[in-house]
């Protein structure tokens, strides 16, 4: 019986199973395993089907209750200013990658320890190191990924190196989205960094120089294309198809050495199926979701409703601000702008404070 179990485990190793410690903790600037007990699960279970409600609540709390999330969209939706949220996610799914490059230990320490907001969006150097294959003595590797996980997780990861990858996916999704609309001016600083650094690899850019107009839109599109292509292909290099023969069944799967690589398979599949995860347009939500219809810009009908209220409130606030600037009194403003008296009073108090 024991022998049979052993064989089963080997088969799991060879499919899409992934391993994680039972629990992790935050210590200084690092996430480290709290236990030595290893669990296995299939990340693709949470790609085919949404995360169960309790998982969404466990990671994000009540705030995102009821959101339809997947493993990759939940990673992208993590708030980089919320360490607890990141820890919660890792408690469910394990490390996105390993600190297995031991010779780089000092380098990593220098780069990530006691620092905040480290991310060079235009560089895929650190990405290639995190996502790459285990380089082990070949005899050791074979089918013992669970052993590798317990060995390589011991060191822990710097929070900043994890955040770097959340930010990278945010930039990738942002760039994939605006490609169609060519909305150059609303881009984040990180996305702008990518574009200015990568356009030199676009031949058309070298020909045109800094010229504006239609040509620069073409350069913009080609640069986005180039960046996405290089980044995804780097990630997919670390992935290979596998096949397992289990009793009567033959099962195709993926072999990957980091959860991050699996997340990139999911993203590339979504992009090629035109189901690109999109960031909810409601400023207070920003959850990534898979849009069912092309026109969905909100993750839920609730967010659509809240965004509408938010917009009309912002409009009213601007109106009140203009009146306040023109020297109108609270009473006069209340007579012009109807309703929400207590809110108007609150705004004016704020304006007064800012004014001083």
Residues 14-53 that bind Zn ion (CB under 5 A): none
Q: Is residue 99 a contact partner of residue 156, using CB atoms and an 8 Å limit?
A: yes
Residues 195-224 that bind Zn ion (CB under 5 A): none
Quote the CA–CA distance of 337 and 327 in Å, as a whole number. 15
Residues 268-327 that bind Zn ion (CB under 5 A): 280, 282, 285, 287, 299, 303
Residues 91-120 that bind Zn ion (CB under 5 A): none
Between 286 and 316, name the residue whose CB sits nearer to Zn ion: 286
Quote the CA–CA distance of 233 and 336 in Å, as a whole number. 59
* Nearest distance from C-beta of residue 177 to Zn ion, angstroms: 15
**Which 8-state DSSP code applies to residue 81?**
T
Between 16 and 73, name the residue whose CB sits nearer to Zn ion: 73
Residue 38 burial by CB count (10 A; 0-12/13-18/19+): exposed, middle or buried? middle
Residue 26 burial by CB count (10 A; 0-12/13-18/19+): exposed, middle or buried? middle
Q: Torsion over CA of 292, 296, 301 and 307, rounded to 10 degrees?
A: 160
Quote the CA–CA distance of 24 and 333 in Å, as a whole number. 54
* Nearest distance from C-beta of residue 309 to Zn ion, angstroms: 13
* Nearest distance from C-beta of residue 275 to Zn ion, angstroms: 17
Between 63 and 332, name the residue whose CB sits nearer to Zn ion: 63
**Which 8-state DSSP code applies to residue 300?**
S
Between 86 and 280, name the residue whose CB sits nearer to Zn ion: 280
Quote the CA–CA distance of 313 and 66 in Å, as a whole number. 25
Q: How many residues bind Zn ion (CB under 5 A)?
A: 6
Question: What are the phi and psi torsion angles at 98 (to 5°)?
Answer: -115, 155
SS3 of 190, please? helix
* Nearest distance from C-beta of residue 286 to Zn ion, angstroms: 7
Between 258 and 287, name the residue whose CB sits nearer to Zn ion: 287
Residue 187 burial by CB count (10 A; 0-12/13-18/19+): exposed, middle or buried? middle
Between 22 and 63, name the residue whose CB sits nearer to Zn ion: 63
Q: Taking CB under 5 A as the rule, does residue 238 contact Zn ion?
A: no
Element (H, E) at 40: strand 38-41
* Nearest distance from C-beta of residue 287 to Zn ion, angstroms: 5
Distance of CA 52 to the CA centre of its chain: 19
* Nearest distance from C-beta of residue 281 to Zn ion, angstroms: 8
* Nearest distance from C-beta of residue 66 to Zn ion, angstroms: 10
Residues 6+ apart with CB under 8 A from 218: 204
Between 261 and 299, name the residue whose CB sits nearer to Zn ion: 299
* Nearest distance from C-beta of residue 289 to Zn ion, angstroms: 7
Between 80 and 285, name the residue whose CB sits nearer to Zn ion: 285
Give residues in contact with Zn ion (CB under 5 A). Answer: 280, 282, 285, 287, 299, 303
């Amino acid at each position: 019986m024991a022998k049979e179990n052993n064989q089963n485990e080997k088969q799991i190793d060879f499919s899409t199973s992934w391993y994680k410690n039972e629990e992790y903790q935050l210590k200084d600037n690092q996430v480290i395993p709290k236990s030595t007990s290893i669990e296995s699960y299939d990340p693709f279970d949470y790609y085919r089907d949404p995360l169960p409600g309790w998982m969404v609540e466990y990671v994000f709390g009540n705030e995102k209750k009821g959101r339809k999330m997947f493993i990759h969209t939940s990673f992208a939706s993590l708030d980089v200013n919320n360490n607890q949220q990141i820890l919660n996610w890792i408690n469910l799914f394990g490390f996105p990658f390993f600190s297995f490059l031991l010779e780089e230990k000092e380098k990593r320490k220098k780069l990530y320890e006691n620092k905040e907001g480290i991310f060079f969006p235009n560089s895929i150097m650190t990405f290639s190191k995190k996502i790459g294959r285990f380089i082990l003595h070949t005899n050791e590797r074979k089918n013992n990924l669970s052993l590798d996980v317990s060995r390589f997780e011991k060191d822990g990861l710097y929070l900043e190196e994890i955040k770097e990858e959340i930010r990278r996916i945010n930039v990738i999704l942002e760039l994939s989205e605006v490609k169609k609309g060519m909305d150059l001016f609303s881009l984040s600083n990180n996305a702008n960094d990518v574009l200015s650094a990568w356009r030199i690899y676009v031949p058309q850019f070298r020909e045109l120089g800094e010229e504006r107009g239609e040509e620069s839109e073409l350069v913009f599109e080609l640069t986005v294309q180039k960046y996405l292509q290089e980044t995804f292909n780097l990630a997919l290099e670390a992935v290979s198809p596998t096949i397992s023969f289990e009793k009567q069944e033959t099962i195709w799967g993926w072999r990957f050495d980091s959860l991050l690589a699996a997340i990139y398979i999911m993203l590339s599949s979504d992009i090629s199926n035109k189901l690109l995860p999109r960031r909810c347009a409601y400023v207070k939500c920003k959850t990534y979701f898979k849009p069912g219809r092309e026109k969905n810009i909100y993750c839920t009908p609730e967010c659509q409703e809240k965004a509408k209220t938010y917009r009309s409130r912002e409009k009213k606030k601007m109106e009140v601000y203009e009146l306040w600037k023109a020297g109108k009194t609270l009473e006069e403003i209340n007579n012009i702008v109807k309703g929400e008296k207590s809110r108007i009073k609150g705004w004016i108090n704020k304006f007064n404070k800012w004014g001083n």
